[in-house]
Structure 1
Amino acid sequence: MSEETQRLTSGIGLDVFDPAPVGVLLARGPDHRIVYTNTLYRQTFGDRPLGRSLREAFPDLAQTGYFDILDRVLTTGHAERVSTAPVDVTYPGEAHGVTRYFDFSISRSTFGAGEHGILAVIVEVTEQVEAAERIRVLAEERRRALLRYRSLVKAGSQMVWVTAPEGGVIEPSPGWERVTGQTWEEFRGDGWLDAVHPDDREDIVREWNRALADVPTDFTHVYRLRLAGGGYRHFSIYAAPVRDGDTVIEWVGTCADIEQQWQADRRDTLLARAAAATADTVRLQEMLDALSHVIVPDVADACRVYLLPQTLDRPAGGALTAERVVALTRPGMPDLPPHREEHLRPDSLLARAIEQGSPLYAAFPPGEPPPDLAGPADAPWLSGGVNSIVLLPVVVDGTTAALLTASVSDDRPPLGRPEVDLLRDLAEQTHAPLRSALEYQRTRQVALALQRSLLTAPPEVPGLDIAVRYRPSTVGAEVGGDWYDSFVLRDGAVVVTIGDVAGHDLPAAVTMSQLRNMLRGLALDREEPTGEILHRLDISVQTLYPEGTATCILARVERPGPDGFRLQYSVAGHPPPLLVAPDGTAGFLTDARNPLIGLVPDPRYTSAQQPLPQGCTLLLYTDGLVERRDEDLQQGLDRLRRAASKAAEQPLEVLCDDLLATLLPEGSTDDVAMLALRVTNGAPPQP
């Protein structure tokens, strides 16, 4: 480069631009031949040869219009600026160029002899342009995301909410307002808690505060929300923290209605609990009690179950007696004793549900049942602040076997169709034992009717008082095996007998009736010793009932002379007769003991005789009066002897009642028959 070209007309040496932090280019003449480039320019655009025109050095810029700017500045002398101009730069040795951005400041320069050129100052702004573009893209993405978020919030079925890092709501939620009816002023901050069910507030506050403190990756919870139209539904919330680095700047969450799923899950859970609670339960009472503890308090505040023992033979519209066997309420509520008979009017609410055989349901303000549902003033299922009831008949094989009542109180959500369906599903757990109970009732009614038709009143005999008692079993189908009988023979002798057929069911009752009638016929057929009569009865039993056995006492009360009566008796495997003197002296008659009827082949039966002095009492009884599972039979016999001795002076009827009241333990389940005979001052019987 010549000395002339190394200086501008101002006399400034071009080497002053070498360390400049901007690119500098000096070109000369109309074809813009490169005269000078500084260090930064060469680093940016490569080492373009001096003396060449810019069009030759930068052929890629031919179509960009940049050369027109150079020509215009050279011609007019007016400086021009170009901002963020893209330039495709291809470096030596590279196949493809890259786009970079520059700010150009172009002015005219004067050389010697009046020749002009251009001076270009170039600042690269590629990083600023790219950063601005990134910011623009991010801003656009944020703007679009915000628009999408707002659209989803308005159109979605879920409620979306935003809280501050410390937990208070900071943005309106159209979905929340639509579902709960809360305005923004009511919703903001911690106002949302007012829409949460009172029973759920403590849990959600505790768990939400724990999440705010621990900041997990997400937070889930289920609670009940009050609806704008009244009532509550279950909602599932999901929330996540929004972070800027390590700092939580807000929380975003949603609420989804899960009432149907919650009801289905609750149904499955309660049915599983009911199945587990009743898996090893056979007795109906225990099963009903276990189910009531599943129902209370998860489904209802109170549950009562009534069994209907009279529905088998009760005419439609007739009086009904229901046995309340379960009465359970949640803690803090008054309760009723579970066992009680309730006589229901035909027009009562319970009777109506039983007659219809379908559920009755009603909801009402707490403590204000409608008149047609209130029933009696002391209706136990409507006491206190009850707001809804369900009366659910449990129908088995077309018969209403039980009635389940459930109620909720105060501000608890009223029972509805889901609870009715759930109670029906739970009640199905009891169908098998209820079916057994119905079969038992039928068997018991038939057996008792048969037995009572045979256990007739004793005859009136001068000189003798005869009293009889019968107490049937109280559990299962255990009825029908015990019997007593008394009648007068043609010769004037009085026959008294008592017995017990093996088994406690309807077949036992049928067998008992047949043995009793056979014994009557055998005793009337021949006037022979009691042992011979029992022998013939044994032959009949072993012939007709090969598998059957029975115990029996057969006795003849005779009056051979004016001095008194005489007892002839035989005992076949039965507890011995008890003879009580007027002074209370008592002893068992054990002289004519024989094997059970039907037990051994071709047995021989013996007879014995015993005087019956005036005022004495003869007591015949079945084993239910003296047997206990946890003691020896002799203890029961001694107990009977002592009790009868103390009651010896009582009238015969009173003595029988006292013995039953004294000797039968509470909850005794065995049936008991008793026949008592007392010698009085009456005239002797006539043939």
Structure 2
Amino acid sequence: MSDETERPSSSIGLEVFETAPVAVVVARGPEHRIAYTNALYRETFGDRPLGRPLRDAFPDLAQTGYWDIFDRVLATGRPEKVSTGPIELSYPGTTEKTTRYFNFSVSRAALGEGERGVLAVLVEVSEQVEAAQNIRVLAEQRRRALLRYGSLVNAGSQMVWVTGPMGGMSEPSPGWQRVTGQTWEQLRGDGWIDAVHPDDRAAIITAWGRAMAEVPATFTHVYRLRLAGGGYRHFAIYATPVRDGDNVIEWVGSSADIEQQWQADRREELLARAAAATADTRKLEEMLDALSHVIVPDVADACRVYLLPQGLDRPPGSPLSAERVVTRTREGLPDLPEHRAEHLDPGSPLVRAIEQGHPLHAVFPPGNPPPGLAAPGNAPWLPERANSVVLLPVVVDGTTAALLVSSTSGDRQPLGRPEIALLRDLIDQAHVPLRNALEFQRTRQVALALQRSLLTAPPDVPGLDIAVRYRPSVLGAEVGGDWYDSFVLRDGAVVLTIGDVAGHDLPAAVTMSQMRNMLRGFALDREEPTGEILRRLDMAVQTLYPEGIATCILARVERPASGLRLQYSVAGHPPPLLVDPDGTARFLTGADNPLIGLVPDPAPTSAHEPLPPGSTVLLYTDGLVERREEDLWTGLERLRHAAAAAAGQPLGVLCDELLAGLLPTGGPDDVAMLALRVTDGRVAG
């Protein structure tokens, strides 16, 4: 058959399909010979010859059943449709067969002169089919991955969960439900937050919200979760966004129990902090206070420390007094004042812990301690709303030096074995500093007791007003060197003496006491010049204490016929200050001599100074005037101006004003002061 006889007449008007956006083919007769194809059809399937049966033009489709559709439509006149029909051909531009997908409809058409045929319209949907297949594959892969991961997680300690793009739980999590006890209805959406510890909720809500907004590659966080059986444990969460192009379609995450690792890390961190806090501390109270800053709020809500000064040789069962030297609570809880002496009943839990030397531990409903734990009459050592307490004796070399009381309150998880072990570790790590502090405290107590026993009240002498002051150093080590003394000799002369032994420890205090007693003996033994008495003291010191060095002023208030006068000798000590009634103040420098113990063959000199009525003599130790950042004469001038300004004050007031005005806060040295005023009836001490 020629092309002319096979090509349809233009009278059927099929040219209207030429530019249609769908592929169109017209076939005539029962053999379905190709009568017309439009441009898109030829572009898609190639230029198949007109007049040729479709079965011959497309032999690859013989087994597809598509030609049966053409037969039925031609026979019955009822149109048929096929959705996503696959057509496997060698398409134009390809060398191998490929499968493409089409939606097509077939309907009967009148072709003129009583002849009938079929018209097929095809729309390619290959991209849509492939996209749908990819989604199905991805969904299946995701489902299988979650099943595999879920099976793995169920066999371990982790929980896997899935949230929507904005963070709400979107699928049940058997692991989460098993660990927390939440049902799916309780967990879904933002219900999971209810299982987070109340103190951790704000942080996770903020961090999770930031992750939703910024969409990092991974998100990690640590919080405490409430367990189904009660209590809380630390969990680490790891989450990552699932993306479809630029869009986040969900988040997949897991939660792992890290309680043991968290406890270990916390222990190391707190021990490091405790070591740093106590490194440069020597006083026992300051060291215990530094430890309380580490304990609260990381380990406990409240920490109180009771110091046991007489616990060294106390018989068991006897009354016990303790000084509460540390009270610390976390923010928002009431506290107790520090430095309060308390009597502890022999049967109280605190005393039991002290006597046994082992911790006492109790857990109870908030605010309802068991009978006997807070016995009536005891000090209120147990905070309100407490739910647990640990009484931990601080034992140093077999001696209970203090009692550490730690507690938690309200809804916080009660103290347990991990916290007791941690508290013990904190105390044990500080054992050497605590032992040194305890030994130093003992030494300081002995030195202070010795020193204060020697700082006696001045004598009561008619016509004279004598005042004494002593201010110990605020530093634990600074004790023992300063002394003063005053007494009346048999001839009626009044002796005034003040001094400072080199050193600030117990040996210095002992040496000071012996020098003070020797000086008393030398002054009482003979009536001789003050310089001669200091010479004998110097020789005795060089014989008995070859390494001893001291400063000293020895003065006698004498009553010759011409009036009162001051005989004095100064051995390396800051000079006496004389304040006249009119406020004129000057230092007495007429008898300056070397330090005691410095010159092998000493020969101290003496000097005399009249003491008119109303005049004031001030003896003092170097702690009143010395400053590390300035020379001595600057401090002396400061004292002279201050004494002149206060000359009209009663003697005791003058001393107090000088101490208050001249001593720096937290002065590093002891200060002793001895003042004498000649009264005339107008000025009282």
Q: TM-score, normalised by structure 1?
A: 0.66
* 2:104 aligned partner: none
Q: CA deviation at 1:226?
A: 1.4
Q: CA deviation at 1:269?
A: 2.9
* 2:471 aligned partner: 471
Contact kept in structure 2, 1:344 and 1:351, CA below 8 Å: no
Match of 1:341 among 339, 342, 348: 339
Looking at structure 2, the residues matched to 265 and 366 of structure 1 have their Cα atoms a distance apart, in angstroms, of: 29
Call closer, same or farther: CA 1:142–1:405 in 2, change over 3 Å: closer
Residues 279-358 of structure 1 aligned to structure 2 (within 5 Å): 291-305=291-305, 307-309=307-309, 311-312=311-312, 317-318=318-319, 320-325=321-326, 327=328, 329-330=330-331, 340-347=338-345, 353-358=353-358
Match of 1:537, as an amino acid? Answer: L
User: Are 1:608 and 2:577 counterparts?
Assistant: no
Call closer, same or farther: CA 1:666–1:194 in 2, change over 3 Å: closer
Contact kept in structure 2, 1:575 and 1:622, CA below 8 Å: yes
Call closer, same or farther: CA 1:296–1:444 in 2, change over 3 Å: closer
Contact kept in structure 1, 2:284 and 2:438, CA below 8 Å: no
Residues 154-553 of structure 1 aligned to structure 2 (within 5 Å): 158-159=158-159, 161=161, 172-201=172-201, 204=204, 221-237=221-237, 255-276=255-276, 291-305=291-305, 307-309=307-309, 311-312=311-312, 317-318=318-319, 320-325=321-326, 327=328, 329-330=330-331, 340-347=338-345, 353-367=353-367, 369=369, 372-373=372-373, 386-553=386-553
Looking at structure 2, the residues matched to 156 and 527 of structure 1 have their Cα atoms a distance apart, in angstroms, of: 96
Contact kept in structure 1, 2:300 and 2:408, CA below 8 Å: yes
Looking at structure 1, the residues matched to 519 and 267 of structure 2 have their Cα atoms a distance apart, in angstroms, of: 60
Match of 2:469, as an amino acid? Answer: R
Call closer, same or farther: CA 1:642–1:448 in 2, change over 3 Å: same
Residues 563-582 of structure 1 aligned to structure 2 (within 5 Å): 563-582=562-581
* 1:617 aligned partner: 616
Q: CA deviation at 1:263?
A: 1.6
Looking at structure 2, the residues matched to 680 and 241 of structure 1 have their Cα atoms a distance apart, in angstroms, of: 92
Match of 2:330, as an amino acid? Answer: T
Secondary structure (helix, strand or coil) at the match of 1:564 reads coil
Call closer, same or farther: CA 1:204–1:461 in 2, change over 3 Å: closer
Deviations 1:67-116 (A, max 9, x none): xxxxxxxxxxxxxxxxxxxxxxxxxxxxxxxxxxxxxxxxxxxxxxxxxx
User: Are 1:591 and 2:597 counterparts?
Assistant: no
Match of 1:560, as an amino acid? Answer: P
- Structure 1 stretch 600-609 or stretch 190-199: which is displaced more? 190-199
Deviations 1:498-554 (A, max 9, x none): 211111111111211222222233333332222122222222222332222111112
Call closer, same or farther: CA 1:629–1:328 in 2, change over 3 Å: farther
* 1:113 aligned partner: none
Looking at structure 2, the residues matched to 579 and 334 of structure 1 have their Cα atoms a distance apart, in angstroms, of: 53
Looking at structure 1, the residues matched to 442 and 426 of structure 2 have their Cα atoms a distance apart, in angstroms, of: 25
Deviations 1:557-610 (A, max 9, x none): 33233x533332211111222333445444332211111112223232211122
Secondary structure (helix, strand or coil) at the match of 2:193 reads helix
Contact kept in structure 1, 2:282 and 2:476, CA below 8 Å: no
* 2:6 aligned partner: none
Secondary structure (helix, strand or coil) at the match of 1:426 reads helix
Contact kept in structure 2, 1:283 and 1:433, CA below 8 Å: no
Contact kept in structure 1, 2:590 and 2:607, CA below 8 Å: yes
Contact kept in structure 2, 1:309 and 1:441, CA below 8 Å: no
For structure 1, which runs of at least 5 residues remain unmatched after alignment?
1-16, 24-140, 683-687
Looking at structure 2, the residues matched to 525 and 444 of structure 1 have their Cα atoms a distance apart, in angstroms, of: 33
Deviations 1:366-403 (A, max 9, x none): 45555655579997875565544444333222333344
Looking at structure 1, the residues matched to 192 and 582 of structure 2 have their Cα atoms a distance apart, in angstroms, of: 88
Match of 2:511, as an amino acid? Answer: T
Looking at structure 2, the residues matched to 378 and 456 of structure 1 have their Cα atoms a distance apart, in angstroms, of: 38
Looking at structure 1, the residues matched to 249 and 458 of structure 2 have their Cα atoms a distance apart, in angstroms, of: 98
Deviations 1:187-224 (A, max 9, x none): 34544333233344455566667878999887665432
Secondary structure (helix, strand or coil) at the match of 1:508 reads helix
Q: CA deviation at 1:650?
A: 5.0
Q: CA deviation at 1:143?
A: 13
Match of 1:324, as an amino acid? Answer: V
- Structure 1 stretch 367-376 or stretch 578-587: which is displaced more? 367-376
Contact kept in structure 1, 2:283 and 2:476, CA below 8 Å: no
Secondary structure (helix, strand or coil) at the match of 2:477 reads coil
Contact kept in structure 2, 1:292 and 1:328, CA below 8 Å: no
Looking at structure 2, the residues matched to 658 and 239 of structure 1 have their Cα atoms a distance apart, in angstroms, of: 69
Looking at structure 1, the residues matched to 363 and 188 of structure 2 have their Cα atoms a distance apart, in angstroms, of: 34
Call closer, same or farther: CA 1:142–1:415 in 2, change over 3 Å: closer
Looking at structure 2, the residues matched to 612 and 243 of structure 1 have their Cα atoms a distance apart, in angstroms, of: 99
Looking at structure 1, the residues matched to 245 and 614 of structure 2 have their Cα atoms a distance apart, in angstroms, of: 109
Contact kept in structure 2, 1:388 and 1:414, CA below 8 Å: yes
Call closer, same or farther: CA 1:321–1:634 in 2, change over 3 Å: farther
Looking at structure 2, the residues matched to 214 and 576 of structure 1 have their Cα atoms a distance apart, in angstroms, of: 75
Looking at structure 2, the residues matched to 146 and 488 of structure 1 have their Cα atoms a distance apart, in angstroms, of: 100
Residues 646-661 of structure 1 aligned to structure 2 (within 5 Å): 646-648=645-647, 650-661=649-660
Deviations 1:210-255 (A, max 9, x none): 8789998876654322122222122345667899999999877654
Contact kept in structure 2, 1:381 and 1:389, CA below 8 Å: no
Looking at structure 1, the residues matched to 216 and 649 of structure 2 have their Cα atoms a distance apart, in angstroms, of: 85
Looking at structure 2, the residues matched to 380 and 638 of structure 1 have their Cα atoms a distance apart, in angstroms, of: 52
Contact kept in structure 1, 2:482 and 2:671, CA below 8 Å: yes
User: Are 1:676 and 2:670 counterparts?
Assistant: no
* 2:72 aligned partner: none
Contact kept in structure 1, 2:366 and 2:410, CA below 8 Å: yes
Residues 21-170 of structure 1 aligned to structure 2 (within 5 Å): 158-159=158-159, 161=161
* 1:127 aligned partner: none
Secondary structure (helix, strand or coil) at the match of 1:345 reads strand
User: How many residues align structurally?
Assistant: 550
Q: CA deviation at 1:150?
A: 8.4
Contact kept in structure 1, 2:274 and 2:291, CA below 8 Å: yes
For structure 2, which runs of at least 5 residues remain unmatched after alignment?
1-55, 63-140
Looking at structure 2, the residues matched to 442 and 611 of structure 1 have their Cα atoms a distance apart, in angstroms, of: 46
Contact kept in structure 1, 2:479 and 2:506, CA below 8 Å: yes
Contact kept in structure 1, 2:327 and 2:336, CA below 8 Å: no
Looking at structure 2, the residues matched to 287 and 383 of structure 1 have their Cα atoms a distance apart, in angstroms, of: 23
Match of 2:478, as an amino acid? Answer: E
Deviations 1:156-191 (A, max 9, x none): 655455667876656655544443222343334544
Contact kept in structure 1, 2:306 and 2:322, CA below 8 Å: no
Deviations 1:436-495 (A, max 9, x none): 322222112222232233333444445444443333333223222122223344444333
Contact kept in structure 2, 1:443 and 1:477, CA below 8 Å: no
